[in-house]
A and B are shown apart, each in its own frame.
Chain A
């Protein structure tokens, strides 16, 4: 399929177009089209070589700290044989022609490695041909290297820029020859990020940094509870605040939430401070709404009840119920992970500017096409009247896949008749997040007399993400279940997975690694609990559960299983790779070494987003002060082919600590439907003095196809931590977080 094509200056205009440039683009299948469907008509993903040699390329994925700009550039520059110093990245706006632009699911590299390599290779072939024709020599005698084509025999050399105009006239090769893996110069190398030099000077533009002439600033007073109706507004005092221009009423959200705005009253002002003071002065009368009874403690009890009863069977092997009855020993445990907030350091922010019936938005979004659709729907304009410019993201973690804040900016700007920035405060962010769901897991294991696990039953209960898109949806989806629950790779003869129903009372969203967080926490904690019951070493027992190297296919046992959208042939559930990271992490942490008193090691391993991660955590508990600390963490990831092992290591460090931070402190709770956490003192994040001093990570070198990198590090962190706490203190933490309510890192045992 030839999907690579020339791009006229007009087509690339606004992005990369320049006179005399050599520009190729890729036609991408729209995200919604079926696999195997023809590529769309419009060209996207431009790469352009200017006459001066500067090489510009588009990133259609959002830059949010995973250094995807750098990865995209590495892939193209490598096949193109480009000089890294001449490569620049331009962010693509939200447009269906870019195919799937959702920067989530850890798949930006997975989905683009091949096609980007082919673009670079095609350009290299054409540049060589252009040089060969100019010199009248055989193309095979010409070498493309370091941004130039050379003819070694005649010692002639032409830079890419000098060849651009002629290359632009050649036919695009259908199957350009790709470089051999051994010849890769940038792919697989820890190339320094293209954004970091800008970041350290305070440059770059995040969502909140966009400034337009005549722009006004707005903050929104939103319903204290989801769907609470606004019964009365007194905005007199707000409008009297100097600098406040006006207020704008936003319609109250109706179920399901999807990506619409939650409603409320916006205060528009000359600067953010005036808007904030104006909002403080609003007098709003909110009705109770349907969620006024939502109370986290009571809801937990309800979920516990559900998990205590049989649920819907989602995967079954052998006869788990029968085997549990006759097992020599039965072990049962219940785990709970509360709602979590994304709390990216940059709270949501978006700017909108109308002219006529067209609106242009600038926003820190992970999914610009969703933003475009949501704005078009909310404002009642056709899709082609909406432009979404993607800024840098100050962290996303899934929150910024939901463009409700862009909808707010578009609505408020239209009403205000001026460009408007809507800035979310941290309080807004914590109160009106699309929260990571709350869950209860109940696991029951049967052990034979020799300690082997002969039966495994896992019940999972959580309000599903589907509730955000379908009103009243209480049923966990296969997509959520296959994140660590129905895809459990253990070699136990009898296995049963059940799910229960649970109703959502807040907007539920996906947060870095999604359902893997609570499933891996339960499964990997329980594996260690079984080891303790069997009086075995937890690492050895985990390896025994994982069993011999083989490919696991949950589909034969009643589960619907989509393998993160990729085929099981290409990306099997490979227990050999899982066991290998367990062994490597254990050996790097020197598992089994003599530890100081009060110290303990815990291990956990998990496959998610087609990658394998094992983590060992060391904790230290001081029996005199009761203080718990984490002196060290060792993590090993096998993500197949990795484009940038440097940023993969960063993700492994950061994703692990992200998981530890949530496990130690993360909890969003509600009372009478109102979220209790206001700002960082209440929703605590790990700080410098709490971060482990030793963080050793290793990314496995592998030729396997690329797996995800951004999310897989997070799931094993929490169970490894709690397994370590158990090893150090004998206390088993089954309900997260470890520390609640401002507890200064003290653990009562």
Chain B
């Protein structure tokens, strides 16, 4: 059964079980491997994408729920906020292994959209769902502050 998906500004026909989590549709069917699997149970945030602008854990979001919605992945994240965050991530050399960082960035984009000048408590709330085993938390926090200043 084909489902029509709208991802990063393009339409795709996907032939998959409508219960399939969006994560596996993106990775296995569309080849968008920037979105990562880390737990499958909404505990790590590695799979974070935006659905109609809000952050979602794609590992627990069935395909049928996003039919007709606009999905944005790390590959398609653009705009001033996303680019300011990327620049800060590079400037402060945030990533170590990098595996969690797509999810971190997608959560950070959503945070800065909702709260343009977050304080530390806002960052705790916005980023608590994203685990990093390399423990880059200190730099993530600093990079979000830096990006927020840069966006103005």
Which residues of A pack against B, CB within 8 Å?
Answer: 64-67, 190, 192-193, 195-197, 199-206, 208-209, 211, 217, 242-243, 271-274, 343-347, 392-397, 423, 425-426, 646-647, 650-651, 653-654, 656-658, 661, 679-681, 685-689, 691-693, 695
A344 to chain B, nearest CB (A): 6
CA distance A658 to B140 in the complex (A): 16
Cβ-based interface call for B70 (8 A): no
Report the nearest B residue to A644, measured CB to CB.
B93
CA distance A309 to B43 in the complex (A): 44
Which residues of chain B are near A242, meaning CB under 8 Å?
17
Which residues of chain B are near A271, meaning CB under 8 Å?
16, 20, 24, 28-29
Which residues of chain A are near B74, meaning CB under 8 Å?
201-202
Q: Is the CB of B98 within 8 A of A65?
A: yes
Which residues of chain A are near B131, meaning CB under 8 Å?
345, 680, 685, 687
Q: Is the CB of A345 within 8 A of B95?
A: no
Can you list, as one digit per residue, whether each of B14-47 has a CB less than 8 Å from chain A (1) or not (0)?
0011011100100111011111111111011010
Q: A688 and B98 in contact (CB under 8 A), knowing A211-B31, A272-B24? A: no
Q: Is the CB of A395 within 8 A of B99?
A: yes
Query: Other than the known A202-B32, A396-B97, A426-B38, what 19 A-B pairs have Cβ atoms closer than 8 Å?
Result: A67-B96, A196-B95, A199-B101, A200-B90, A200-B95, A200-B105, A205-B33, A206-B36, A208-B36, A273-B16, A344-B97, A346-B38, A653-B136, A654-B135, A654-B136, A657-B137, A679-B43, A688-B123, A691-B135
Interface of A is mostly: loop
Which residues of chain A are near B16, meaning CB under 8 Å?
271, 273
Q: Is the CB of B86 within 8 A of A273?
A: no
Give me the 9 closest cross-chain CB pairs, A-B, nearest first.
A202-B34, A394-B99, A65-B97, A202-B74, A657-B135, A65-B96, A199-B98, A691-B137, A689-B124
Report the nearest B residue to A658, measured CB to CB.
B135
CA distance A204 to B74 in the complex (A): 12
Which residues of chain A are near B89, meaning CB under 8 Å?
196, 200
A279 to chain B, nearest CB (A): 12
Report the nearest A residue to B63, measured CB to CB.
A273
A232 to chain B, nearest CB (A): 28
Cβ-based interface call for B66 (8 A): no
Which residues of chain A are near B33, meaning CB under 8 Å?
202, 205-206, 208-209, 211
A686 to chain B, nearest CB (A): 7
Which residues of B pack against A, CB within 8 Å?
Answer: 16-17, 19-21, 24, 27-29, 31-41, 43-44, 46, 73-75, 85-86, 89-90, 93-102, 105, 120, 123-125, 127-128, 130-141
Report the nearest B residue to A694, measured CB to CB.
B138
Which residues of chain B are near A196, meaning CB under 8 Å?
89-90, 93-95, 98
Q: A653 and B97 in contact (CB under 8 A), knowing A200-B90, A273-B20? A: no
B103 to chain A, nearest CB (A): 9
Which residues of chain A are near B136, meaning CB under 8 Å?
650, 653-654
Q: Is the CB of A347 within 8 A of B38?
A: yes
CA distance A168 to B118 in the complex (A): 57
A221 to chain B, nearest CB (A): 16
Q: Show 14 residue pairs from A and B whose CB-CB distance is below 8 angstroms, ordered by the A residue.
A: A65-B97, A66-B96, A196-B98, A199-B95, A200-B86, A243-B17, A345-B133, A647-B93, A657-B135, A657-B138, A658-B133, A681-B43, A687-B131, A688-B130
Which residues of chain A are near B19, meaning CB under 8 Å?
273
Which residues of chain B are near A206, meaning CB under 8 Å?
33, 36, 99
CA distance A647 to B139 in the complex (A): 12
Q: Is the CB of A688 within 8 A of B43?
A: no
Q: A695 and B40 in contact (CB under 8 A), knowing A195-B98, A273-B20? A: no
CA distance A196 to B29 in the complex (A): 26
CA distance A66 to B97 in the complex (A): 7
B43 to chain A, nearest CB (A): 4
CA distance A494 to B130 in the complex (A): 49
Which residues of chain B are near A679, meaning CB under 8 Å?
39-41, 43
Q: Is the CB of B28 within 8 A of A217?
A: yes
B149 to chain A, nearest CB (A): 18
Q: Is the CB of A680 within 8 A of B44?
A: yes
CA distance A77 to B135 in the complex (A): 30
CA distance A395 to B137 in the complex (A): 15
CA distance A202 to B124 in the complex (A): 23
Across the interface, A345 reaches (CB within 8 A) one of B20, B29, B97, B141, namely B97
CA distance A345 to B137 in the complex (A): 14
- Looking at A274, A345, A347, the one whose CB has the most chain B CB atoms below 10 A away is A345
CA distance A600 to B99 in the complex (A): 35
Which residues of chain B are near A397, meaning CB under 8 Å?
133
Which residues of chain B are near A192, meaning CB under 8 Å?
90, 93
Q: A688 and B36 in contact (CB under 8 A), knowing A195-B98, A646-B93, A654-B135? A: no
CA distance A379 to B83 in the complex (A): 48
CA distance A355 to B120 in the complex (A): 55
Q: Is the CB of A423 within 8 A of B130?
A: no
Report the nearest A residue to B121, measured CB to CB.
A689
CA distance A67 to B85 in the complex (A): 21
Q: Is the CB of A653 within 8 A of B139?
A: yes
Q: Is the CB of B128 within 8 A of A273?
A: no
Q: Is the CB of B35 within 8 A of A202?
A: yes
CA distance A688 to B38 in the complex (A): 17
Report the nearest B residue to A64, measured CB to CB.
B97
CA distance A66 to B16 in the complex (A): 38
Which residues of chain B are near A193, meaning CB under 8 Å?
93, 95
Q: Is the CB of A423 within 8 A of B133?
A: no
Q: Is the CB of B135 within 8 A of A393?
A: no
Q: Is the CB of A395 within 8 A of B37?
A: no
Which residues of chain A are near B139, meaning CB under 8 Å?
650, 653
Which residues of chain B are near A687, meaning CB under 8 Å?
128, 131, 137
CA distance A658 to B34 in the complex (A): 24
Q: Is the CB of B133 within 8 A of A688?
A: no
Which residues of chain A are near B35, meaning CB under 8 Å?
202
CA distance A431 to B96 in the complex (A): 25
Q: Is the CB of A650 within 8 A of B34?
A: no
- Looking at B28, B73, B141, the one whose CB has the most chain A CB atoms below 10 A away is B28
CA distance A687 to B100 in the complex (A): 13
Across the interface, B138 reaches (CB within 8 A) one of A66, A200, A394, A692, namely A692
CA distance A274 to B24 in the complex (A): 10
Report the nearest B residue to A426, measured CB to CB.
B39
Q: Is the CB of B39 within 8 A of A680?
A: yes
CA distance A97 to B139 in the complex (A): 38
Which residues of chain B are near A423, meaning CB under 8 Å?
37
Report the nearest B residue to A210, measured CB to CB.
B33
Which residues of chain B are near A692, meaning CB under 8 Å?
138
A718 to chain B, nearest CB (A): 14
Report the nearest A residue to B19, measured CB to CB.
A273
B139 to chain A, nearest CB (A): 7
Which residues of chain B are near A691, meaning CB under 8 Å?
135, 137-138, 141
Which residues of chain A are near B75, meaning CB under 8 Å?
201-203
Q: Is the CB of B134 within 8 A of A395?
A: yes
Q: Is the CB of A202 within 8 A of B73?
A: yes
CA distance A57 to B36 in the complex (A): 29
Q: Is the CB of B24 within 8 A of A394?
A: no
Q: Is the CB of A688 within 8 A of B101?
A: no
CA distance A203 to B29 in the complex (A): 17
- Looking at B36, B73, B100, the one whose CB has the most chain A CB atoms below 10 A away is B36
Q: Is the CB of A654 within 8 A of B96?
A: yes
Q: A685 and B133 in contact (CB under 8 A), knowing A196-B89, A202-B34, A680-B44? A: yes
Report the nearest B residue to A681, measured CB to CB.
B43
CA distance A652 to B137 in the complex (A): 13
CA distance A229 to B145 in the complex (A): 54
Which residues of chain A are near B135, meaning CB under 8 Å?
653-654, 656-658, 661, 686, 691
Which residues of chain A are near B128, meaning CB under 8 Å?
687-689
